[in-house]
Structure 1
Amino acid sequence: MSLIKQELNRIKEALMTGVGYMIPFVVFGGICIALSIAFSDMSSKGVNITNPILKVINTFGTQSMGMMIPILAAFTAFGFADRAAIMPGFLGGLIAVNGEAGFLGGLIAGILAGYIVMAIKKIPIPATVRALVPIFVAPLVGGLSVAVIMQYIVVAPISGLMKTLTLFLQNMQGGNAILLAAILGIMTAFDMGGPVNVVACLFAWSFFSDNIYTLSAPVAVAIATPPLGMGLATLLAKNRYDSIDRESGKAALVMGMIGISEGAIPFAAKDPLRVIPANCLGGAVGAMIAMAAGVNEYAPHGGPIVTLVATHKLWYLLAIIVGATVTAITANFLKFGFNNKKKKINTTNTDTSSD
């Protein structure tokens, strides 16, 4: 069991490494796409970009977003086996994109490349040629191995799965859509920028190429509800929070406005059993409202800052407000019910000792 846990931690750390290197591409691409869309004709049916300058900006953004999966795969592999794994990982990610295996294919490529290169580096090699391993042996053997496995084993079933999922999402209506929104909202709000959040966000954003933007709206809402919710909680019950929490609340409000989930981490770290469920509930409620209203969100980010590139803007903002309010009320209810009881016990103990 400890070995399995060790490998799971290794995969988690490698994934977060890949995400860290991928984020600049997502940010650049997202900003360019959002700017080009914001100043173009936009409706619930899509976007019509006619300005030549905006078209160029949109192209830059699309190209940057197109590198998201290969970069994720390359640096996830790097997280396993350092720079010798970058080329096999990148190649595997590129094969995943070309084979329409999407985000899931890219993850598999990165993990596969990482383990293959790790195995290659453990092979006994004479010291005279060991320097060639990272620049020749690992890229050649690892690259060929990853390419063959991805092309002839992984791509076909994963591509089929992604196409089925895309078709399902395109035809999804009613309760199924609301349920999926709730799941995405819970995952996005759960660990506030951690691996579960990242999986939910990348899953939603990976369907941009299929012109599916309804999944990114629930995620965009749930990105903001934890920090806004906990910031609001400190305002609703100022006397219940100490000065450090109140200052953290102010910072969380600012971070929530610009779509940074990490603003809620100080509260979750201090009281995870109450704050995390409150975050998840608020994220789910906000996400469901966005999905029910049919909001499309065209930027791979979240929070009020991207309202300009969302359809049904009032509904989008209302989803954030309601989700944050649910988080705030739930967190305060859970925290103060326990704290009041604890305070009575302490008072009783103090009075008894003084007698």
Structure 2
Amino acid sequence: MSDGFKKGLNTAKMHLNAGFNGMLPLIIVGAIGMALSSILPKDGIFGDLFAFLNEIGLKRFDVFIALIIGQSLSGKVGLASGFILGYYSNQLGLGIFGGIVVGFIAGYSGLAFNRMKLEGSTKALLSLVVLPVITAVVGFFLIKYGISGPVKFIQDSLVNFLNNVSATSSVLLAIILGLMFGFDLGGPINKTAGLFTMISLTEGIRGPITYAAVAYMLPSMAAGLAIMLDRKKVLFDEDEHVQGPSVFALGFLSLSEPALPMMFSDMKFMVPANMICSALVCGLIAGFKIESTLALGFLNFAFMNKAILGVIIYLGCLALLTSLILIRRKFLYNKENCEEA
């Protein structure tokens, strides 16, 4: 694989992550609307509110991801193009994959335009009038006759796979997702599993988003707990002890990234341990058929259909187990380094 290709791939991943991060607030809005609709009456003003939250959060988020990717790649030039193509992709029901594909089309088109040697009023006229019109016309035919078929096939195949696996073995699906959640804590494998959960939520399958919410809590809770259990400060340095309580608290918001420094300091050992513990907690939740409509940290528990105390106990035990593994490995790691010195 050439260096140029690797660089381009890494750049595309960066802009894709920007799209995911920009899309998350809308997904959360939709999830909150779904959660509230399960406990409040659906008639009258509440019904209108839930329909509105569902519309912007779970039915239009793909427009936003296209817009964000377009803007991330080419600045203001990509905003209008991203919206235009994203909106049409949404109308055809191409889902998140369609939003991603057309976002990159808009972004790279805008990037090519930015590289043209234009100045002053000419550049302004082209960017405000000509480029959006060309994008709309060319994008219409490209999406309708070139992209929609393959993207729709991938989207439908993925949804059918989720439905079939959830129907036949939800525990197996949960274990696979748990292994992916625990692998790279916010990296591409983790993000791919997150993509599954978002698609499943928009299709009314709530199990995977529940697994994600709890699995994302585990690493930071475990890392923070391990630091706080090191009362004599022999395993972790002063900076880590200052960060420990914050890392633990951020785990309650389903943020796994704060655990990266601690979990990846000994990747060959801690990554498999974290994957196993994440798979265990996801498998337990699936086994007891526990679902939630809200993937927002500790608030997730308030919208679970049953066994809330059980989930808290599972999560607490596995966080403690992971933290003890981390402490033990840290002790052995430090001992090995002292002997080598």
Contact 2:60 2:90 in 1 (8 A): no
Select the residue among 74, 88, 99 that pairs with 1:95: 88
Distance 1:278 1:237, change over 3 A: farther
Structure-to-structure mapping, 1:19-34, within 5 angstroms: 19-34=20-35
Distance in 1 (CA, whole Å) between partners of 2:24 and 2:50 is 18
Select the residue among 285, 291, 299 that pairs with 1:290: 285
Deviation, 1:12, is: 1.7
Match of 1:110 in 2: 103
Contact 2:165 2:173 in 1 (8 A): no
User: What is the DSSP-based 3-state SS (H/G/I as helix, E as strand, rest coil) of the residue aligned with 1:298?
Assistant: coil
Distance in 2 (CA, whole Å) between partners of 1:261 and 1:130 is 44
User: What is the DSSP-based 3-state SS (H/G/I as helix, E as strand, rest coil) of the residue aligned with 2:207?
Assistant: coil
Distance 1:104 1:316, change over 3 A: farther
1:61 maps to 2:46: no
Distance 1:254 1:154, change over 3 A: same
Match of 1:353 in 2: none
Deviation, 1:282, is: 2.3
Match of 2:260 in 1: 265
Match of 2:133 in 1: 140
Match of 1:184 in 2: 177
How much identity, in percent, do the aligned residues show?
24
Deviation, 1:271, is: 4.8
Distance in 2 (CA, whole Å) between partners of 1:119 and 1:256 is 41
Deviation, 1:129, is: 1.6
TM-score (norm 1): 0.83
Q: How many residues align?
A: 336
Structure-to-structure mapping, 1:198-237, within 5 angstroms: 198-237=191-230
Match of 1:303 in 2: 297
User: What is the DSSP-based 3-state SS (H/G/I as helix, E as strand, rest coil) of the residue aligned with 2:185?
Assistant: coil
Deviation, 1:295, is: 2.0
Contact 1:234 1:245 in 2 (8 A): yes
Distance in 2 (CA, whole Å) between partners of 1:293 and 1:82 is 47
Distance 1:51 1:192, change over 3 A: farther
Select the residue among 127, 142, 149 that pairs with 2:142: 149
Contact 1:14 1:78 in 2 (8 A): no
Deviation, 1:218, is: 1.4
Give the root-mean-square deviation of aligned CA atoms. 2.7
1:130 maps to 2:123: yes
Distance in 2 (CA, whole Å) between partners of 1:345 and 1:119 is 54
Contact 2:162 2:200 in 1 (8 A): no
Q: Which amino acid aligns with 2:56?
A: S
Distance 1:256 1:158, change over 3 A: same
For residues 267-295 of structure 1, give each alpha carbon's deviation from its aligned partner in whole angstroms, at most 9, with x where no partner exists. Answer: 24655555444433322222222222222
Distance 1:278 1:120, change over 3 A: same
For residues 233-292 of structure 1, give each alpha carbon's deviation from its aligned partner in whole angstroms, at most 9, with x where no partner exists. Answer: 224444422333233221122111222223313424655555444433322222222222
Distance in 2 (CA, whole Å) between partners of 1:142 and 1:157 is 21
Contact 1:181 1:218 in 2 (8 A): yes
Deviation, 1:219, is: 1.0
Contact 1:19 1:72 in 2 (8 A): yes
Contact 1:274 1:331 in 2 (8 A): no
TM-score (norm 2): 0.86
Unmatched segments (≥5 aa) in structure 2: none
Match of 1:247 in 2: 242
Distance 1:56 1:316, change over 3 A: farther
Unmatched segments (≥5 aa) in structure 1: 41-48, 347-355
Distance 1:35 1:247, change over 3 A: farther
Distance in 2 (CA, whole Å) between partners of 1:168 and 1:209 is 15
